[in-house]
Amino acid sequence: MTPVLRVAILGAESSGKSTLAAALASHFATVWVPEYLREFVDTTARVPREEDQYGIALTQMEREDAAARQATRFLFCDTTPLMTAIYSRWYWNRVDAQLSALEQRHDYAMTLVTAPDGPWEADGLQRESEAVRQTIHEQVIERLDERGIGYALVTGSLEERMGQAIRLLNPDR
């Protein structure tokens, strides 16, 4: 049995992570892991507090592990604990020890970063502003560089991003 390659899709709010993850999963006839934070906000009707961060990241990882058992060839992961840690640093200037340990598990075959080059769209509780989106994008790039994690920045329309990602995932074609 061929191992499933996990693909992390990272990026700031309203940068197209979910759209890209769903489109790639459809293209490759596999599954993807939606961002649990969105469900958390919807079900609790509030933004997360600092003490929620570890549980959010842990649930994300548990769902990723469960989806890996159903995936074929690729598993597209709409965010990872690394993003939760970046937001913890942004909002509370720290990352607790448990979340930090999860963040260190960034073990993906590929990391795609969605550029904040499309229109910013507010969605109620979860998103702040275009300025925050740009700052978080810069922090994602900075954190990946600090950790020595290779990544590919995907830009443009969904079709352009799909083309870029597919070429990266199928380099021999």
Contact yes or no for 111/150 (Cβ under 8 A): yes
Residue 30 contacts by C-beta under 8 Å, 6 or more apart in sequence? 71, 72, 73, 74, 75, 76
What is the arithmetic mean of pLDDT over 137-163?
96
| 6, pLDDT greater than 70 | yes
* CA gap 93, 64 in Å, rounded: 27
At 21-71, the pLDDT tens digits run 999 999 999 999 999 998 998 899 888 999 999 999 999 999 999 999 999
Domain extent at residue 145? 5-169
Q: How many domains does the chain have?
A: 1
What is the arithmetic mean of pLDDT over 153-167?
96
Contact yes or no for 73/7 (Cβ under 8 A): no
| 126, pLDDT greater than 80 | no
What is the per-residue pLDDT for 59?
Answer: 96
What is the per-residue pLDDT for 120?
Answer: 66
Tell me the pLDDT band of 3, cut-offs 50, 70 and 90: confident
What is the per-residue pLDDT for 173?
Answer: 62
Tell me the pLDDT band of 123, cut-offs 50, 70 and 90: low
What is the per-residue pLDDT for 131?
Answer: 83
Name the strands in the sheet holding 110-114, side by side, starting at the edge strand that comes first in the sequence: 32-33, 74-78, 5-10, 110-114, 152-154
| 87, pLDDT greater than 80 | yes
At 46-57, the pLDDT tens digits run 889 999 999 999
Read off φ and ψ for residue 109, nearest 5 degrees. Answer: -65, -30
What does pLDDT average to over the chain? 91
Contact yes or no for 27/20 (Cβ under 8 A): no
Assign residue 90 the CATH number of its domain: 3.40.50.300
| Angle, in degrees to the nearest 10, between helices 81-92 and 130-147 | 120
Of the two residues 125 and 131, the one the predictor is more confident about is: 131
**Strand 32-33 with 74-78, pairing:** parallel
DSSP-assigned letters across all residues of 84-140 = HHHHHHHHHS---HHHHHHHTT---SEEEEE-S-S-----TTS---HHHHHHHHHHH
| 122, pLDDT greater than 80 | no
